[in-house]
Structures are given as structure tokens and as C-alpha cells.
Amino acid sequence: MEHRHLGRSGMLVSEIIYGNWITHGSQVEEDAAHACVRAALDSGITTFDTADVYAGTRAEEVLGRALKGQRREGLEILTKVYWPTGEGVNDRGLSRKHITESIHGSLRRLQTDYVDLYQAHRYDYATPLDETLRTFDDLVRQGKVLYVGVSEWRAEEIRAAVEMAELMGFDRLVSNQPQYSMLWRAIEPDVVPTSIELGLGQIVWSPIAQGVLTGKYLPGQPVPEGSRATSADKHFMDELLSDEVLTAVQGLVPIAADLGLSMAQLAIAWVLQQPGITSAIIGATKPEQVLDNVGAVGVTLDADVLARIDSVLAGVVRRDSADTVSPPVRP
């Protein structure tokens, strides 16, 4: 495993981060979750991503149990706040009240005194930015949070936050967590250049497009038994599962074969060598998937390969920065 600095911060994170959205506390049983975490640790992954909202807060509990007994200094634990964690009017968003209550819940469920990175899971148009950033800064000063970042914020929102932090002396954002893969490149026009300029690293989600880039979903065929596409909790998969996308993805099979890589390794290696990317956050339901995916570390794709990939996927890649969105009103 290789490690990289998280944005302009002094903290190193693993190039592959293991995340537990949809899996822990919902799609997979506790034993399988622990086995995946064990495989991640054995592969040299030190960074783990979760969120207060995953599996109705159960995902943090599962991760806390799975990491119990590990040396805390050897881990980077990342979580998030924004999406609703309860029915109350204040159980959501980036207000001082909800952030303060949510971090306490996360620390309790994760069984830790601090998280290494605390992320605003979306932009909250109903809370003044200075209220959110001051609360984040307070948590840093209290030692409950070591670094702060965001997820799916637009370039102008990231810039406004960094400028406000400079003006007010608040701790600065060091990372953004956007969706990014060979198929979904909405951050390339604006978010990545702005983040490079301002010192934020991208730790990106769904680098294999939720399994679609493994090539296991075939056009015109039923989805494989037990795959995420069969899960009641699945999100954002409909477009990825269109015949047009699945047919294009099959065009990657000979490219991966020529390189002696699995399809997942090709997809993750592609992500890791794009400008401004710090890490790929992978999900996995089985330890074998973790072992497959970490095989992407150290792989460099040359210009010919990158051009072949672009040509195969030309008709189905999403590149519009307008696809980076937060809910206009609080969910």
C-alpha cells in the first residue's frame, strides 16, 4: 500500500480507503463486514470512511467493533455529517446544533475519542457558512476532530469556505469527497483545478461505479444474484445499469486483459493517476474484492491505454460540473 498526504495537510492516508456505505449494517452480515475490514488492514489500508447516516447509524457501530483493538494511531477514521439521522427537525444539516450532536453520536458508535477527518456530507443552503465552519473549528480545537473536509461541494462553495476560513482564522478544509470514476468525471472542469489551487485533495467515492466497472453486469442480462444492484438500499445505479453503459464497459475487457489486470484494478488505477486525486474509497462485500482492488496500487497506465479507455467510453462518460449538486432544501 502507498500513502499520500491529504491535501495540504500533514496527515497521510492510504491510496485505497475502505468505506462501508450500503454494506455494513445493511447489505452484509457482521461477520462479512469484519472479514472485509480484516482484509483491508492486512492489505495495508489504514484509512476507513463511514458516515453518521449509513445504515441508519449502524454502519459506524459495525466499523467501531471491527476496528476495536487496533492501535488507534495506526488508523485514519473518517466520518461525515449532513443527511438526516432522525425524525427531529434538527436531526440534519450543518447547523451548530446538529453537527455538535452528530459528532458525539459518531464518536460513541465508533468507540474513539476523535475522528481524523470530519466531512460535511453535502452543502447546507439553510445554514450560514460561518456557523458551520466555526463549529468545525471548535471541534478541531476540542480535539474531537483533527481535520475537516467536504463532500460533493461545488468549486465556488469550496472557494467561499477557504476564503472565509482565511478571513476568520478557522481551520481550513483539506479534502473533498466527490463521486469519480472513468464513467463519472463531473469534478474535472472546476472542482479539481480549484481544489489543487486551494490545497484540497480528492478522496473519491464509487471508483468502480458501484461494481459496474468490474464488467460483472452484462447488457440485456439479469443482474448477478446477490450483487449490489439487487440490494433494497441501492442508490444512483439506474443510469449505470443502462444497456448503453454496460455495452461500453464491456469494451474495457480486452484493455484490462492486455495489461494482466482485473477490471476493478484497471478502474482504480485510472482514478489514482488522475490529477488532484489523493485516494480511491472502495466498497466491498467480500474480502476477495478488497484483495482484488488493492492490486491497483503501483499500476501506471500509459498514454495509449488512457486513450483506448477514452475511446471505448466516449459516448457514456459524464463530464458536466452541473452534476455536482447538494439538495436545494434540507432533506
Ligand X SMILES: NC(=O)c1ccc[n+]([C@@H]2O[C@H](COP(=O)([O-])OP(=O)(O)OC[C@H]3O[C@@H](n4cnc5c(N)ncnc54)[C@H](OP(=O)(O)O)[C@@H]3O)[C@@H](O)[C@H]2O)c1
Residues making contact with ligand X (CB under 6 A): 19-21, 23, 49, 121, 151-152, 177, 205-211, 214, 216, 227-228, 264, 281-285, 289, 292-293
Q: Does residue 234 contact residue 22 with C-beta atoms inside 8 Å? A: yes
DSSP 76-134: EEEEEE-S--SSSTTSSSS-HHHHHHHHHHHHHHHT-S-EEEEEESS--TTS-HHHHHH
> Smallest distance from the beta carbon of 289 to ligand X, in angstroms?
3
Of 2 and 166, CB closest to ligand X: 2
Q: Does residue 11 contact residue 76 with C-beta atoms inside 8 Å? A: yes
> Smallest distance from the beta carbon of 163 to ligand X, in angstroms?
23
Picking from 309, 320, 186, 319, the residue whose alpha carbon sits closest to that of residue 248 is 309
HSE (side-chain half, CA atoms, 13 Å) at 225:
0
Burial 161-182 (b: 16+ CB within 10 A, else e): bbebbeeeebbbbbbbbbbbbb
Query: How many other C-beta atoms are found inside a 10 Å radius of the C-beta of residue 56?
Result: 12
Give CA–CA dist 235/229, Å, rounded: 9
Of 130 and 327, CB closest to ligand X: 327
Rounded to 5°, the CA angle 146-149-151 comes to: 145
Of 20 and 43, CB closest to ligand X: 20
Give CA–CA dist 53/30, Å, rounded: 18
> Smallest distance from the beta carbon of 169 to ligand X, in angstroms?
27
Of 142 and 331, CB closest to ligand X: 331
Give CA–CA dist 6/3, Å, rounded: 9
> Smallest distance from the beta carbon of 231 to ligand X, in angstroms?
7
Of 263 and 305, CB closest to ligand X: 263
**Dihedral angle sign, alpha carbons of residues 165, 169, 174, 175:** negative
* Catalytic residue, candidates 54, 123, 180, 217: 54
> Smallest distance from the beta carbon of 166 to ligand X, in angstroms?
25
Confirm whether 82 is a catalytic residue: no
> Smallest distance from the beta carbon of 116 to ligand X, in angstroms?
14
Of 35 and 141, CB closest to ligand X: 35
Q: Does residue 66 contact residue 28 with C-beta atoms inside 8 Å? A: no
Give CA–CA dist 90/73, Å, rounded: 33
- Which residue numbers are catalytic? 54
